[in-house]
Every structure is written in C-alpha cells, then in structure tokens.
Amino acid sequence: MATSSDHPLHPTGSTGPSPLNGLLYGHIYSAAVRAVAVHRIADRLADGPRTVEELAQDSGLHADSLRRVLRLLAMHGLFSQDEKGAFGLTEAGRPLRSDVPGSQHAAALFITDEMLRRASYGITDVLRTGETPFEVAYGRPFFEHLAATPDARDLFDAGMASLSGRVVELVADSYAFPDGGTVVDVGGGRGGFLHAVLSREPGLNGVLFDRPDTVSDHLLDTAELTGRWSVVGGDFFSEVPAGGDLYLLKNILHDWDDEDCLRILGAIRGAAAPGTRLLVVDAVLPDNGDPHPAVELDMIMLMVLKGRERTAAEFESLLTRSGFRPNRVLPTPSLPSIIEAEAV
C-alpha cells in the first residue's frame, strides 16, 4: 500500500501539497467554499461551534458529506474543528457570514458562479484564438448578458458591492477630497464609493451615474446625505453629466480594452472643463513584472471581458491620449491605487 510520502498525489515526499498541487486542487477548494456559502453554514455558526449533526439537521443537509467539506476548509483555515468533532468559524472564515460588516458572502457566490466557471474552461482556447472565453461560452458580451439576465445582473451587482466592501472606505480615506463642489461618480454602481466620499466631506454634493437598472437600487438615500445627491442613468460611452468639479472612475477602465477606455475617458473630457480633476481608481501593476495580487484579477478580465489590469505607464498613455494630464499615483491600503489626472 502506498504511504502518504510516496502517494502520487503527494509527489513532494510529504503530507503537505506541493505548489503545483495547490493549483491543481484550486477548483475543488472554490467549489467547497461555494457549497458552504450557498447553504449559509457560516451564518449557522455565528453563535459558536456546532456538531455536524446539528448543522445538517438545521440546514437539511447530508451530515457525512458536510463533515468532509468542512474538514477540507478547516485544513485551509476557514473553519476550526475541536477534539469532539464540532466545527467553528475562524476569523478567516468570518467574511463568509452574510450578516457582518465586510461580508464576502455575495462575492463568494459571484466568483464561484457558473458564469465564471464556464469562462475559465476557455483559457486553453484563448491562448490560441485570443477570443474572450465568456463570449464564446454564452454567445454575447458579459455586460449584454447581464442586461438580458436579471438574476445574473443582481448576482454581479451584489458581488461587486461585496468585493468593494471595506475597500471603498480605505480608498476614500486615502485622498484629500475637496470640501465643496460636485463630484460625479461615473459607472458608480449603487453608489457605495460616492456615499463614502460624501460622508467625509459635508460640503460636497454628488452625482451617481451608471446604467438605469443599476442606479435605481442606489445606496445614497440616507439621513446624512439628504439633499446632497442626485442619480442619473445613462451610457458612459456616449455622454456623462457635465459640470462636475471632480470625476471618479472606480474599477471601470480595467473592464475595457484601450479603444473603449478612450471612449469613456473622451466622454468625461467632453463634460469636464479644463482644470477639472479626474480620479481613476484601479489596480496598478508593477512595471517590472513583480508579483501583485491584481495579476489574479487580470485573469478574470482575460476570461470574461476584453479588459485588463494595467501599469502606470499604460494608464498614463490612455489619459494623455484622452486630453488629461496625469499628475500622480497614490497607493492605498487596499488593492487599487488612485491615479490623479487633470483635464487640459
């Protein structure tokens, strides 16, 4: 009988997985995370550890199968298992709860959804064809699919809000926003980032601009922002609200290829007076190819959209070609940086 040290699935000669094994098993880990997210296991552990039998009875699941999935995720630090076999939620697994600040529950459901899984299967072919895997799988571009599929659109919007979470606060804290005027958030989704900005500067007004179906479910109608915001639906490829003193583009340009980015930036430049500032909030890849967490995000762009993550030099080229003068790149404590530019 093969021992753990010579088992073909552990070619390193130890019980621990090699770096290659960790990658090979990646889809299994994400499937396990999805399973516990769908069945809200983390929520059921909010009050402390429970036996698998209790969890299974509470959720209508098969106890032995649940034990095996939780054992795998406990091995990777999301759950704990005590000497009596009861499972608890660790600090690392806490974001899987749906009812806590900074929840990643909706993000987990989106990232592990069939849409992205099907797109990932096309990575083999994109190396040969250059065609976007999502479009090959679904027969239409990603955002057209969302527009035609309400459930997918809702999943995407919730997932993006979940992924942003604490990020919007960290980014908003990283820039000295003006204490007056109007800030226009272009492609601002439901307004989480704009809300964070306006909350920090009581003298600022804001305009949330995005697809009509997205801004209809905005987050700006709170007591502290009363009378300081408006919502506009439209297409940022053709026209954006004019007269802003500051324009925001958070996690937008990485969704699009250079040609479409120039269209978006051109629409903003057409609405902005000379001297108006633009903040592009996106990950900035190192120019020298050093490892960076946004490289993983770049793979999602490759799978799903025609966009990409960019270096500072690539952002500078886009901005300059669109009538903006890049000023500086400000790092933040989160994944994205802030690229400040000025309309010329």
In angstroms, the Cα distances linking 323 to 225, 278, 284, 294 are: 32, 11, 20, 27
CA neighbor of 74 nearest in space, from 54, 92, 100: 92
Give the dihedral sign, CA 276/193/260/153: negative
Tell me which of 10, 39, 254, 292 is the catalytic residue: 254
Nearest-5° angle of CA 255, CA 256, CA 258? Answer: 145
Which SS3 state, helix, strand or coil, does residue 131 take? coil
Rounded to 10 degrees, the C-alpha dihedral 322/325/330/334 comes to -10
Confirm whether 254 is a catalytic residue. Answer: yes
Backbone angles phi, psi at 340, to 5 degrees: -95, 135
Q: Are 331 and 173 in contact (CB under 8 A)?
A: no
- Distances from the Cα of 79 to the Cαs of 43, 65, 69, 106, in angstroms? 12, 16, 10, 19
Residues annotated catalytic, as ranges: 254
